[in-house]
């Protein structure tokens, strides 16, 4: 996924709030570019997520995990279980952004603790030094901007090294600005577009929610590369289409 983003490709994905590994297998088989295992707004634990990662690996589906707590110990449990990257919400300061990098990357880049875990293939296939180098190169760091504080501090946040993707959460941005649920309010769109342009100028890939073809094209035209919707939305749309066509 990191190589494809750096090559300028637009990737389409989905937040997954379902606990079934079969769902991730299906997403991979039908050609989705990536999936975000949602451990912020669901009850997904590292143990549950581990089986979701296995399913994604089986079908060559890129995966990251949205983790609701910006804590090294919490993030590390998902990383050790096999998550190739993270999306951390509510990053409001440069210090909070650096904390994400520190939790994902091993020294000398970050502060992640090293052990013979699943992510390291239990130390059975490579020496620790080689694994650390590969992990620091391959793991993806995405941070989510969605509050007035994050917007205010954005010019410093965007300068963070080792952050690959900056994701703008329109639901929380709209709520923060006093327009809850108005994801396409002119002020919401203006802020996402303005900060997205700054992110691209800083060498970051940029993401947001795009629920249909019109929204996908809208954000593609503005240089956004990491676009997603929700797996439950796929299910809902399919059922409603089936009912309405019958």
Residues 84-101 pLDDT 10s: 999 999 999 999 999 999
As a whole number, mean pLDDT of residues 117-131 equals: 93
- The answer to whether residue 41 is catalytic is yes
Check 19, 41, 185, 237 and give the catalytic one. Answer: 41
Q: Which helix (H) or strand (E) holds 187?
A: helix 186-201
199: left (phi over 0), alpha (psi -120 to 50) or beta: alpha
What's residue 14's pLDDT?
98
Instruction: Say yes or no to pLDDT of 246 above 90.
Output: no
CATH at 135: 3.20.20.60
Give the structural domain span for 120.
Answer: 2-245
Summarize pLDDT for 168-226 with one digit per residue, the tens. 999 999 999 999 999 999 999 999 999 999 999 999 999 999 999 999 999 999 999 99
**pTM (2 d.p.):** 0.95
Gap between the Cα atoms of 177 and 13, Å rounded:
26
Instruction: Give CA separation, 129 vs 83, 115, 118, in Å.
Output: 20, 12, 16
Provide the number of structural domains found in the chain: 1
Q: Considering only 88-97, 112-121, 237-246, which range has the smallest mean pLDDT?
A: 237-246
What's residue 165's pLDDT?
98
């Amino acid at each position: 996924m990191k190589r494809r983003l750096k090559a300028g490709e637009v990737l389409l994905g989905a937040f997954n709030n379902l606990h079934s590994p079969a769902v991730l297998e299906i997403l991979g088989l039908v050609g989705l570019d990536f999936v975000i295992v949602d451990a912020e707004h669901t009850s997904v634990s590292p143990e549950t997520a581990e089986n979701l990662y296995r399913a994604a690996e089986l079908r060559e589906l890129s995966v990251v995990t949205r983790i609701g707590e910006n804590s090294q110990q919490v993030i590390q449990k998902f990383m050790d279980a096999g998550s190739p990257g993270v999306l951390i919400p509510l990053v409001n300061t440069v210090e909070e952004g650096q904390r994400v990098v520190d939790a994902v990357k091993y020294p000398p880049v970050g502060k992640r603790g090293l052990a013979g875990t699943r992510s390291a293939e239990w130390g059975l296939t490579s020496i620790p030094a080689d694994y650390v180098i590969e992990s620091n190169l391959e793991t993806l760091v995405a941070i989510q901007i969605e509050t007035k504080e994050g917007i205010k501090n954005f010019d410093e946040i965007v300068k963070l090294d080792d952050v690959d993707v900056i994701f703008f959460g329109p639901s929380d941005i709209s709520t923060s600005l006093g327009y809850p649920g108005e994801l396409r309010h002119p002020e919401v769109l203006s802020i996402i577009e303005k900060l997205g342009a700054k992110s691209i100028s800083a060498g970051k890939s940029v993401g947001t929610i795009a629920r249909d073809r019109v929204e996908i094209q809208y954000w593609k035209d503005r240089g956004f590369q990491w676009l997603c919707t929700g797996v439950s939305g796929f299910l809902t749309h399919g059922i409603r289409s089936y009912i309405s066509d019958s």
